[in-house]
Amino acid sequence: MSLRYLSAKAAQQIDEELMSTAGAFSIDQLMELAGLACAQTVARVFDKDKYPRVLVCCGPGNQGGDGLVAARHLGLFGYRPIIYMPKPGAKDLYQRLKKQCDNMEIPTIPPSTELGPLEDALASSDVVLDAIFGFSFKPPIRAPFDSALPLLTESKLPIVSVDIPSGWDVEKGNAEGVGLNPDVLLSLTAPKEGARLFQGRHFLGGRFVPKTLEQKFELHLPPYPGSDQIVELSGSSQKL
């Protein structure tokens, strides 16, 4: 059976069930596992000896929380992450994840209305982890992200996007032409409809999905190899 690609409605429903009595996960657990999968994806494709400096771009929501967890794990893996938050999240969980990064002495670009600090960070980075927008994003892109995303594209650095590339519609992909065009995509739980149009290396992370939900939503997930938290999907481009 072929892997199921999720609509926005189905993705939201699965998330809700994972955190209900059906799944019994807390948001902290899911974010930790998702962030670990993000860090493992970066490590799988971009060797730390050649690409040690990772610019982790975090949005204000759960996607950004995944990015903060990933930054912490990348630091533990021996990379040199730096965090960029165009609009930091206000929730307690987000603040605690940021504090964990601070405790590991992972630097953060100071908040600024100017783009100079981001330009400087891009000039001294080897790869970008895009954890800005999640599957709930709807165009248009608003400030301060509308000026930050073009800089990420213009930098020509390789980009790893989390779940759906920032600026893409979860179902229509980059139909507006304003989203990032990453080299690597890590879909979480199951790939989203918009990801059918993605042309790079495509991984799946979400080894936490219980069999009951996998069967209920007919996800037809592939097996994860060994102890890995990620699996590369068949048909994924091997250009990197």
Binding residue numbers for K(+): 63, 130, 166
Distance CA 186, CA 34 (A): 10
Query: Which pLDDT belongs to residue 175?
Result: 82
- Residue 151 belongs to some domain of the structure: yes
| Low-confidence winner among 173-177, 215-219, 220-224 (lowest mean pLDDT) | 173-177
Does residue 158 lie within any of the structural domains? Answer: yes
**Residues spanned by the domain of 92:** 8-232
CA 153 to chain centre: 16
The owner of tokens 């975090």 is: 58
Q: What is the DSSP letter of 108?
A: B
**212 occurs within a structural domain:** yes
The residue-averaged pLDDT of 105-124 equals 89
Q: Any idea which residue has 């879909």 for tokens?
A: 187
Known binding residues for (6S)-NADPHX: 62-66, 134-140, 163
The reply to whether 39 falls in a domain is: yes
Task: Give counts: helices (H), strands (E), the chain.
Answer: 7, 7
> What percentage of the chain exceeds 90 in pLDDT?
79
Is the pLDDT reported for residue 138 higher than 80? Answer: no
pLDDT band at residue 202 using 50, 70 and 90 as cut-offs = very high
**Confidence category of residue 239, pLDDT binned at 50, 70, 90:** very low
Please say whether the dihedral angle defined by the alpha carbons of residues 149, 154, 158 and 164, taken in this order, is positive or negative: positive
Residue 237 lies inside a defined structural domain of this protein: no
Q: What is the mean pLDDT of residues 193-218?
A: 94
CB atoms within 10 A of CB 92: 8
Q: Is residue 73 part of a domain?
A: yes
Tell me the C-alpha to C-alpha distance, in Å, between residue 208 and each of 63, 83, 135: 17, 26, 19
Binning pLDDT at 50, 70 and 90, where does residue 216 land? very high
**Residues comprising the binding site?**
62-66, 130, 134-140, 163, 166
Tell me what the mean pLDDT of segment 135-157 comes to: 87
Averaged confidence pLDDT in the chain: 92
**112: DSSP letter:** -
User: Which residues sit opposite 80 in a β-bridge?
Assistant: 53
Q: Please, which pLDDT band fits residue 22 given cuts at 50, 70 and 90?
A: confident
Question: What is the pLDDT, as a whole number, of residue 34?
Answer: 97
48 contacts 40 by C-beta, under 8 angstroms: no
What was the pLDDT predicted at 134? 84
CATH label of the domain that carries residue 159 = 3.40.50.10260
Angstrom distance (rounded) from CA 15 to CA 23 = 9
Query: Is residue 239 a part of any domain in this protein?
Result: no
pLDDT at res. 232:
97
- Classified as helix, coil or strand, 136 is coil
Q: Mean pLDDT throughout 191-208?
A: 94
120: number of Cβ within 10 Å: 11
* Mean pLDDT for the stretch of residues 2-9: 93
Report the share of the chain in percent with pLDDT over 70.
97
- DSSP string spanning 145-201? HHHHHHHHHHT---EEEESS-TT-BTTTBSTTS-S---SEEEEESS-BGGGGG--SE
pLDDT at 236: 55
Q: What is the mean pLDDT of residues 27-34?
A: 96
The model scores a pTM over 0.75: yes
**How many domains does the chain contain in total?**
1
Residue 226: CB atoms within 10 Å: 4
Residue 1 inside a domain? The answer is no
Binned at pLDDT 50, 70 and 90, residue 240 comes out as very low
